[in-house]
Amino acid sequence: MKEILTLIKEGNKPSLLAAIVNTVIAILKAIAFLLTGNIAMFAEMLHSLGDAANQFFVYIGSALSKKAPTPKFPNGFGRVVNLVCLGAVIVVAIMSYEAIIGGWHHILNPVESGGFVLNLSVLGIAIALEFFVLYKAGKEVLHEAGIQNGGLAAPITVSFRHLNRAKPATKLVFMEDLVATMGGILAFVAVLLAHFLGLLVAEGIASILIGLMMFYVVGKVFLENAKGAIGETDEEMLNHIAHLVAQDPDVKDIQRVEVLKEGEFLHVEVVAEVDSSHTVAYVDDVRDRLLDLILQQKGVREVLISFDEDDGVSTWKKANSSETIQQFSSKLPE
């Protein structure tokens, strides 16, 4: 029990914050929908409920993924977060479907809803809270990408360019709250159009658009976490680590480098060539030196290094080039 509580504390903080905020928002939207019957509010309620459940499970998954390897599971639990994200998107997919169906029925049979002020107030609060979570998630994206300074607006603007370098849980929170903020704005505009211009179908259209945006998140998150669950190569880190190994004065050549994503962490395997005249003790010192160096790299959790004698045939060409990435990627198991 103590181990579980310790792991829970190490879970992804942005996802926990997002889960709490979205729970509060979902309750507010549910009350507003029950009092007014507004279909756009219904879609937003489903959206927030889906996000809250999703992000809570992602938080638990990110915590469990940090569990240390055991004799029964020697490869660790890094990919648990990917599996949890895959399960979580099912919840969002169901909510997306309900939002689209509800919006379609409203377009076919538009009904005027009341509570104009209440709807706008709840949506305004929701948009502000969603934007707050989005901003915090954007800051976490920049932190995980190693971006120190970017200005006040960087968490919203610069973070898009570095989203692929964020942890799966952080990326999921950022994408979901981006869509949630946009969905809130859509619903807000729809309520205004229905009230002032009598365009009752605007609320149904907003509901469908919100559902479609949720489906986009479902597809994006599913594909990315499916790759993570299977085992995806981090090509940028592969090139970087191969370059570090090749710079070691005792490494004559590199036969193989593998850098696989294990959830939030990286699993590295290196096969290098050394001079056959070196003693076992000397080569062991080289291994320890390389091991310490690679473990210092961001996200690396496990490293396996093995050696072979120099065969005089150059396998490693040059670092930091697309040729290098293609060369080593072609050696990974299919």
Fold classified for 235-329: Alpha-Beta Plaits (3.30.70)
- What digits encode the pLDDT tens for the residues 75-92? 778 888 888 878 878 888
Mean pLDDT is lowest, of 24-28, 49-53, 174-178, 261-265, for 261-265
Where does the pLDDT of residue 317 fall: very low under 50, low under 70, confident under 90, or very high at 90 and above?
low
> What does the mean pLDDT of the chain come to?
85
Say what the pLDDT of residue 205 is: 94
Distance CA 234, CA 89 (A): 23
Q: Beta partners for 269? A: 258, 304
Mean pLDDT is lowest, of 78-87, 95-104, 126-135, 253-262, for 78-87
String of b and e for 260-283 (b: at least 16 CB within 10 Å)? Answer: bbbbbbbbbebbbbbeeebeeeeb
Where does the pLDDT of residue 318 fall: very low under 50, low under 70, confident under 90, or very high at 90 and above?
very low
Distance CA 29, CA 43 (A): 9
R_g of the chain, CA atoms, integer Å: 25
Domain 2-230: top CATH class:
mainly alpha
In angstroms, what CA-CA distances link 117 with 120, 195, 229, 289, 312?
5, 10, 46, 66, 78
- What digits encode the pLDDT tens for the residues 125-170? 999 999 999 999 999 999 888 887 778 888 988 888 888 888 877 8
Whether pLDDT at 222 is above 90: no
Express as a percent the part of the chain with pLDDT over 70: 93
Whether pLDDT at 323 is above 60: no
Where does the pLDDT of residue 268 fall: very low under 50, low under 70, confident under 90, or very high at 90 and above?
very high
- What digits encode the pLDDT tens for the residues 18-49? 999 999 999 999 999 999 989 889 988 988 98
Mean pLDDT of 11-18: 86
Asked if 7 contacts 64 with a C-beta cutoff of 8 angstroms, the reply is yes
Mean pLDDT of 225-247: 87
Whether pLDDT at 282 is above 90: yes
Mean pLDDT of 198-226: 89
Say what the pLDDT of residue 170 is: 85
Domain spans in the chain, listed from the N-terminal domain onward:
2-230, 235-329
Q: Which of 147-151, 206-210, 261-265 has the highest mean pLDDT?
A: 206-210
In angstroms, what CA-CA distances link 63 with 1, 56, 225, 301?
14, 11, 16, 15
The values of phi and psi at residue 142, to 5°, are -65, -40
Say what the pLDDT of residue 1 is: 61
Sequence-ordered alpha helix ranges (H) in 197-232: 201-230
Mean pLDDT is lowest, of 159-163, 256-260, 293-297, 304-308, for 159-163
Distance CA 296, CA 247 (A): 16
Mean pLDDT of 261-276: 88
Mean pLDDT of 291-305: 92
